[in-house]
Structure 1
Amino acid sequence: MDLASIINTVKNISFFSILDILVVSYIFYKGYMLIKETRAEQLLKGILLILVLIPISYFLRLTMVYTILSKTITIGVLSIIIIFQPEIRRALEHLGRTAFNERHILLEDETLMEEIITELVNAVENLSESKTGALIAIEQTTGLNDVIANGTKIDGIVTAALLENIFVVNTPLHDGATVIRNTRIVASGCVLPLTGNTDINKKLGTRHRAAIGLSEVSDALIVVVSEETGTISLAINGRLTRNYDKDKLKDILIKIMKTRQVKASTLGERVKTWIKIKFKKTS
């Protein structure tokens, strides 16, 4: 292809062609970010290796190798769906949260939000000092009704005293998770899904694995207090960060919730504007 042909091709590229390329690139990028540092990433590398080896084996006339690899890809579509089931679920839930977020779980009153978080971190600090294990999930845009259903309904206002009392050792609810929705403690003693990630620290106990597990399938913010060391941890989007103190935990929770609040508000305004424009065109 000569220079003139290349220039002519570039000139014929339309705005929608560029948009098409950008959308596809974004989809691939977000897909990779969802599986980054998970077992699925290693599986994807294996699949890409097979796809590279197929044309090489054909070119080198390695008939048996080519046949085996070709058949593997042919029958592997269903296997890929089964293997990537957790990642596919996470991707669809993420799409649902970002594209159709109409639940408005997030607190709109910033002052009230800070009051609730202050009560939470005060309780967490006291639980940490006494080395009392705790697991607290703050519901965001993904509903946690399935988790709430397997616990004990509380429906109480979020206060440090109530949270501390729930996790008193040898009481019926201290071993499970407590779920907070807006200004209310909805339920306690809830059972959370454990993570299937085998790469996490082997020293982490069931509370931490449950926190990571819930954060993998929802956008909830999960606070954990270690029963052995009193260490405060936070699980978000399948990842656990540790060694928080009261102030650091409060700052990160407020920052995340305010950011998500802005995103939800912005998306809502965009949808309303789009509906108004469409309505005017049809009327």
Structure 2
Amino acid sequence: MSEIFNSIISGVGITDVIDVAIVAFVIYKVLGFIRETRALQLVRGLLVLVLITILSEQFNFYTLNWILRNTLQLGVIALVIVFQPELRRALEYVGRSKFITPQFAQMDKERVKVLTAAIIKAVDYFSTNKIGALIIMERETTLNDIAETGTKVNAEISTELLGNLFYEGAPLHDGAVIVRGDRVLAAGCVLPLTQSKTLSKDLGTRHRAGIGITENSDAISIIVSEETGIISIAVDGKLSRFLDIKTVEKTLLNIYLTQIPAEKVKVPFIDKIRRRRNAE
């Protein structure tokens, strides 16, 4: 037994170890990605089909085995269609290079603070006066295709500009505003809606659009409800609601001054009492 073990070890080189390590890492990352998406249930269903196919072959169920085998062959194409949002998100994640510097990193801290203050002042005004708003902060993933659905603005960020864009009755107030660096890139933009089935029915199109764009990019969405004035932030497909203005300010400064990756951004916890008060 020891001789067999030694012969196996002697046949393993450094390249084999590196090869296995890379494959193991890739499988680990893929499984981790699947766990965070709705693909988990679909993968489970696929594994059940594969298991049934193997069992049907072992027990000589020829008809069932033939049907399942042909189904699995066509299943590759079906999986690409079903997993299209997840595959796109995964490819965008892989394509994000740490050497690419986000727009805000090119500005000094004082400039970032001034711009953040302008955004916060506008959001506070929207919340107080119950004006619906949807502000998308572009990061590493460019949103040119989204900007093309709206009207190009390309103007410096200011509280007054944001107030005019979201003023009720203004031509662009129903869409989203795309912020790139220190400028408003476009307004009145149409965003992809989230496909999540677990969201509250109380959330309207504005919230679903704000979540949807963060599922397809590393952008940050700031959402103000037109009905209640409640402020929310969507990051990496997850929505945090009932936020006060200080929490939003702290979150934005953490994102743009420390360059935290989108998937690791944590919006500060808001206790249940404050949530109940805001809901009331």
State the TM-score, normalized to the length of structure 2. 0.84
RMSD: 2.3
Determine the C-alpha separation between the residues in 1 that align with 2:7 and 2:257: 49
Determine the C-alpha separation between the residues in 2 that align with 1:45 and 1:202: 28
User: Alpha-carbon deviations, 1:46-98, whole Å to 9, x = none?
Assistant: 11111222222222333333222222112211111111111111111111113
Q: Which amino acid in the other structure matches residue 184 of structure 2?
A: I
Residues 139 and 219 of structure 2 are in contact (CA less than 8 Å); yes or no, is this contact kept in structure 1? yes
Distance 1:196 1:250, change over 3 A: same
Distance 1:192 1:16, change over 3 A: same
Residues 106 and 141 of structure 1 are in contact (CA less than 8 Å); yes or no, is this contact kept in structure 2? no
In structure 1, runs of 5+ residues without a counterpart are 264-283
Residues 232 and 243 of structure 1 are in contact (CA less than 8 Å); yes or no, is this contact kept in structure 2? yes
Distance 1:5 1:64, change over 3 A: same
Residues 105 and 259 of structure 2 are in contact (CA less than 8 Å); yes or no, is this contact kept in structure 1? no
Determine the C-alpha separation between the residues in 1 that align with 2:120 and 2:93: 27
The aligned runs of 1:118-157 (5 Å cut-off) are 118-157=117-156
The aligned runs of 1:1-283 (5 Å cut-off) are 2-6=1-5, 8-10=7-9, 12-98=11-97, 102=100, 104-108=102-106, 109-260=108-259
Residues 38 and 197 of structure 1 are in contact (CA less than 8 Å); yes or no, is this contact kept in structure 2? no
Q: Which amino acid in the other structure matches residue 104 of structure 2?
A: L
Determine the C-alpha separation between the residues in 2 that align with 1:202 and 1:6: 60
Distance 1:29 1:231, change over 3 A: farther
Determine the C-alpha separation between the residues in 1 that align with 2:242 and 2:21: 39
Q: Residue in 2 aligned with 1:272?
A: none
Q: Percent identity?
A: 38
Residues 213 and 238 of structure 1 are in contact (CA less than 8 Å); yes or no, is this contact kept in structure 2? yes
Secondary structure of the equivalent of 1:198?
coil
The farther-off stretch of 14-23 and 171-180 is 14-23
Q: Please state how far the C-alpha of 1:236 moved relative to its aligned partner.
A: 1.7
